[in-house]
Structure 1
């Protein structure tokens, strides 16, 4: 197998609301698979440089977290219109954390556990707060934790997203129980649930899904690498990837494990520091160091129609400083029919968010605060 390499072949500047800044040609496994990555710059009406992009199926949404608005753009970067802003209308939307576009419209996460539903024309439908069925007294659960109780969990904030399927959305969840947690309790890695199925009607957590894979039993405690990502396909299948595990897990619509595949990343630093004390949970330097120096698998995106799976991973770095996670080198694996066909370096905040057309995809991730530029990527092969 020949070495994988990146050859930047051109810098292009186009004028207009959207501007294509660069094109890169990259090659994959055995030099038989090529990928092109374009950077599409946009010019929001205001920009805090703190936001994210999402894909609606036809338009790119820019969500500015600090200024609190959503604007839509074409895949070429041309401004279309402002879709929503905070404190607008009867919904009393106070902030915008993330947006999930689906066939019925848009599900918007506001402050805390509050969600807002809009139709496809951005007309407000309803709002609700996610809640757990109070089957136990809180004091009972503190003394005797019950892993299967929804009361044990809260929405996870790291790398969050909320894919919608019918009358439900799915969310990553955390458990921050004083004794049943990832820092001191080995049973946590066997019994804790990871994803909640939540009603879009009233916000009730209806079901808890999935556990950590057996890979986590190889370690004592690795609490700073308990994160994971998942994708829901149009067929109802779920794909999951975990930070310390090269395997990708595929579940059918009934949530039964049906397949696994995956290849380890290139030159990853995987000597994960283990801990046996809760004190490290409050040490932000240790957390930041683990996100910067360690290698781990990150985001997954699936084009079910074309049988293509994309997964990013951070390689880790031996840099003696402690930097931000986005400074930890990022690579992208591309699987075709579950066979690895490409493993390439990508920008540090790269995150695939949608399919534009056959072999053409949209990715979040270009923010340059110093140059006051921001935009998204278009990947094609």
Structure 2
């Protein structure tokens, strides 16, 4: 195994480095602290639909209301400032219905994705730049691709947007990454190992060409141990400052680190604490059973549900088990676990405004999105 300290130094000094390293020992641990003081900051505006999440710009954060199309702006202390956007046809309104996905690019442009592959781009001053439709055609006839699914795994027409996991992220090179999955009758999460071995997970859309130019990634080999668990087939991901990918699959304790060509650099990661891993299998195409497991069984199990890269740290949140009153948050530095602490159930780390890290929780009891913060 190559020396990890050498790799880290070389990587930080020369971000164009293409050297690959072997898998880092998954048990590399250097605990810096064993607890975290997490404080509730605010609840999102009572007039919002509570469907959405928080995002960050400069010293403020805002909540994107997916149902009503508003952006509720807050200062770093959680004080509500004003409401932006809203649905409509004026230059500073959104001409879409439900917002399925949101991202901010490196220029501060706001990017909204609607339910009909409609993409809406607004400048930092909120005025509309353009509205377009994602070009999802690919190079082959759509009917041919769908009829011969197993021979066309790299074709766009075989996939659709993963609306239950639509975490869109823009890189610094003018691309937008969008989670995808396949529901083709011959190629889906119920039908065989090939889906888990070769199925793609991200679409790479280019703003300049207005086309989806490439499909990327694959699922973890951990899924091959089951027959099958489509109700746990999601993943979380983020990009670092080099446009490299950190990807984590729900049932896999490993975190996968790829370069921007999606070549694997290394894997790392330590299993979370007190996780119930007794996943129930579905060995036939049964949507009724899938819905039952997704609704009633999934919340009882332990799985990794969000990942965020901030200030050279990787934050990974996970659920534990049915009886647990808290969830877990792992923090990695230089691929080494430095903390695994208890946090409020559902907490996802979302951003940083010095000196605080911020996270969000959807509280089912209050039916509200709540914002938390903590220091390291």
In 1: Cα distance, 2:265 partner to 2:69 partner? 41
Q: Which has the larger displacement, 225-234 or 31-40?
A: 31-40
Q: Which residue of 2 aligns with 1:50?
A: 51
Count of residue pairs the alignment pairs up: 342
Deviations 1:208-250 (A, max 9, x none): 1111122222223221111001101111110000011100000
Deviations 1:260-305 (A, max 9, x none): 11001111111222222102466421221332122111110112x4
Higher RCO by CA contacts (8 Å cutoff, separation 6 or greater): 2
Structure 1 contact 52–63 (Cα < 8 Å) conserved: yes
2:158 to 152, 156, 164: 152
In 1: Cα distance, 2:289 partner to 2:328 partner? 30
In 2: Cα distance, 1:245 partner to 1:368 partner? 26
Q: Which has the larger displacement, 347-356 or 199-208?
A: 199-208
Q: Cα distance, 1:374 vs. partner?
A: 4.8
In 2: Cα distance, 1:61 partner to 1:202 partner? 30
Q: Cα distance, 1:134 vs. partner?
A: 4.1
Q: Which residue of 1 aligns with 2:78?
A: 77
Structure 1 contact 314–328 (Cα < 8 Å) conserved: no
In 2: Cα distance, 1:142 partner to 1:292 partner? 33
Change (3 A) 1:216 1:88: same
Structure 2 contact 179–201 (Cα < 8 Å) conserved: yes
Change (3 A) 1:347 1:34: closer
Q: Cα distance, 1:36 vs. partner?
A: 2.3
Mapped pair 1:331 → 2:328: yes
Structure 1 contact 224–290 (Cα < 8 Å) conserved: no
Q: Which residue of 1 aligns with 2:16?
A: none
In 2: Cα distance, 1:281 partner to 1:328 partner? 29
Q: Which residue of 2 aligns with 1:133?
A: 137
Structure 2 contact 180–203 (Cα < 8 Å) conserved: yes
In the TM superposition, what are the counterparts of 1:231-250 in structure 2 within 5 Å?
Answer: 231-250=238-257
In 2: Cα distance, 1:340 partner to 1:201 partner? 39
Change (3 A) 1:31 1:301: closer
Change (3 A) 1:41 1:184: same
Mapped pair 1:380 → 2:341: no
2:116 to 112, 117, 129: 112
Unaligned runs of 5+ in 2: 1-28
Q: Which has the larger displacement, 253-262 or 45-54?
A: 45-54
Q: Which residue of 1 aligns with 2:318?
A: 313
Deviations 1:90-129 (A, max 9, x none): 5623333343123221112233321211111111101122
Mapped pair 1:205 → 2:212: yes
Q: Which residue of 1 aligns with 2:169?
A: 163
Change (3 A) 1:89 1:201: farther
Structure 1 contact 367–375 (Cα < 8 Å) conserved: yes
Mapped pair 1:361 → 2:357: yes
Change (3 A) 1:373 1:275: closer
More strand by share: 1
Q: Which residue of 1 aligns with 2:7?
A: none
Note the aligned Cα RMSD (angstroms).
Answer: 2.5
Q: Which has the larger displacement, 41-50 or 341-350?
A: 41-50
Q: Cα distance, 1:257 vs. partner?
A: 0.6
TM-score w.r.t. structure 2 length? Answer: 0.83
Provide the secondary structure at the position in 2 that maps to 1:284.
helix
Structure 2 contact 300–321 (Cα < 8 Å) conserved: yes
